[in-house]
Chain A
Amino acid sequence: MIIHEEICVGCGRCQPYCPTAAIRYDGIKSRIDQEICYECSTCLRAAHCPVDAIAESPDVYDYPRALRRYFSDPSATHAATGIQGRGTEECKTNDVTRRCGPNQIGVAIEIGRPTLGMSILDIQKITRAIARAGVHKIEPHNPIHSMIANEATGDLKPEMLGERVLSAIIEIQVERHELRGILRTLKEVAKEVDSVFCIDAFTVVGPGLSVPEEVLESIRAEGFTWRPNAKVNMGIGRAWE
């Protein structure tokens, strides 16, 4: 995003809207630090500049900077997947798709969330760690998949490494007995990255929303806990196509 200096009246109204504090005063005018800006367009969409000084950067869709827009602007349609959003339907439609079976567990690593974002160099640290742990299949319908140069090593395309994104989701699926190993890997790589990520674990439940003990035991064994709130697929969808 850019602010047209000749139009800006320096009211500062846009500044708190930026999730990453990229908008600051430069003299008496507001200016966007292009290095920090995630191209999420929140300032353009929500700050209501009184003089319409905020605009898209001319290079916002130039590769690889375009990654910032695709991963950071929730309303942007991702070029690699053709859909809005950084993830897939994951557990949201599993009652219909049955992508994740009863003996499997889905793990989503929500990169840069909440709010901090992450450099793609740091994302590569996570994809490499997952590959070293023996998981070479990142969900193919997830936009992260299109960034991978080498599935065996988890290396991402080198030209992307200088970019950063507000959020991205690495989705993998493993057998339930492999969950402990993945969690151990994530615990270790958390020490290497300069940002944050959230971990999700999704599994088919038993009657009365009972979570399989094998899953809970794996989580406890690696020293993790789970929040009292969760996302639940209510199981009332069906396929007809």
Chain B
Amino acid sequence: MTHSLHREGSLDSLEKDYVLFIYPARGFNYKGSAPKVRRLVELLYQAGPVNMIPTSLRRNMYSGVTNEEILNSITVEGTRVYSVFNDREKLKKALMLIKEADEGISIMVSGITDRVRELAAEVGIDPHMINLSLGIHGRTDRLPPADIREFTTMCGHGVVSPHLVSDMIRRVKTEKISAFDGSVLLAEPCTCGIYNPCRSAELLREKAPLYTIDRW
């Protein structure tokens, strides 16, 4: 999960990509956390995330699961919620609602640091800690190309395959699938629910003309 700080891409693209975690702390505020987390998820819905998964269900918003099923699954103490927003203002609304609710559960936001700083100031939150990404090291020559990594790093655990991304670019380019439907398929392997299908669709539209059509 830590990998959300290593999401790659241009600044313009990252401007449309903010991850928000709701995270109870084991041994500190686990007990009694379930109804509070559920309340916070209700507030997230008001702000409009583009993807979300609670650890109690592990099915993303595009899997056919209803909002009620997601909410009703949050009965287990310590349930964490992973969500992603594609718009600064939506994230701001989420943070305002969360701050107002004051449920006492830890909230993390991954995104462009300057934007998070601005948002915190606008909402009146004083952040506690930052986790900086110091980049990728070692055999970087073995990595897939940087433009493919813009997709794959949206999944923290690395289970969105670079080959699936290439395959999806081919399918979009040959009009076998729309960019958004292709992105929903790309989001499916990611069991954390922080793959951003809206940003992914934009990336697919952007990359498709650059690739020749070949089998992955």
User: A residues bordering B, Cβ < 8 Å?
Assistant: 15-19, 21, 40, 42, 45-46, 72, 74-75, 84-87, 89-97, 100, 106, 108, 110, 112-117, 166-167, 169, 183, 186-187, 190-191, 193-205, 207-209, 211, 219, 224-241
Contacts and interface: CB of A to CB of B under 8 A. Distances in A.
B84 interface: no
Interface stretch (B43-51, B122-130, B172-180): B122-130
Interface of B: 1-7, 11, 14, 19, 21, 23-32, 55, 58, 95, 98-99, 102, 104-114, 116-117, 120-121, 125-140, 142-144, 149, 152-153, 156-164, 166-167, 188-189, 191-192, 216
B163 A95 contact: no
Q: Which 3 A-B pairs have the closest CB atoms?
A: A235-B128, A237-B106, A93-B25
Contact of A74 (B106, B138, B192): B192
12 contacts: A91-B108, A110-B2, A117-B158, A183-B134, A191-B138, A196-B142, A200-B5, A200-B131, A232-B130, A234-B108, A239-B28, A239-B29
A201 B159 contact: no
Contacts of B27: 97, 241
B178 to A, nearest CB: 18
A167 B157 contact: yes
B15 to A, nearest CB: 10
Interface centre among A89, A100, A191, A193, by most B CB within 10 Å? A89
A209 B127 contact: yes
Contact of A232 (B116, B159, B189): B116
B191 A74 contact: yes
Contacts of B121: 208
A17 B189 CA distance: 8
Contact of B140 (A45, A87, A196, A219): A196
Given A16-B163, A21-B163, A226 B127 contact: no
A190 B129 contact: no
Contacts of A209: 113, 116-117, 120, 127, 130
Contact of A196 (B30, B136, B159): B136
Contact of B5 (A40, A195, A219, A230): A230
B55 A84 contact: yes
Task: Please report whether the interface of chain B is mostly helix, strand, loop or mixed according to DSSP.
Answer: mixed
Contacts of A238: 29, 104
A87 B117 contact: no
B134 A219 contact: yes
Given A75-B58, A197-B137, A91 B104 contact: no
Given A45-B191, A241-B27, A208 B136 contact: no
Contact of B6 (A40, A91, A110): A110
B130 A202 contact: yes
A110 B191 CA distance: 18
Contacts of A183: 134
A19 to B, nearest CB: 4
B110 A232 contact: yes
Given A40-B157, A232-B116, 8 more contacts: A19-B161, A42-B161, A115-B143, A195-B138, A196-B138, A209-B127, A231-B131, A238-B29
A205 B130 contact: yes
Nearest to A196: B138
Contacts of B109: 231-232, 234
Nearest to A215: B132
A93 B163 contact: no
Which of A74, A166, A169, A225 gathers most chain B CB within 10 Å?
Answer: A74
A228 B169 CA distance: 27
Given A21-B163, A230-B131, A230-B133, A114 B110 contact: no
B106 A236 contact: yes
A72 B189 CA distance: 12
B58 to A, nearest CB: 6
A72 B113 CA distance: 29
A209 B128 CA distance: 8
B175 to A, nearest CB: 18
Contacts of B6: 110, 113-114, 198, 227
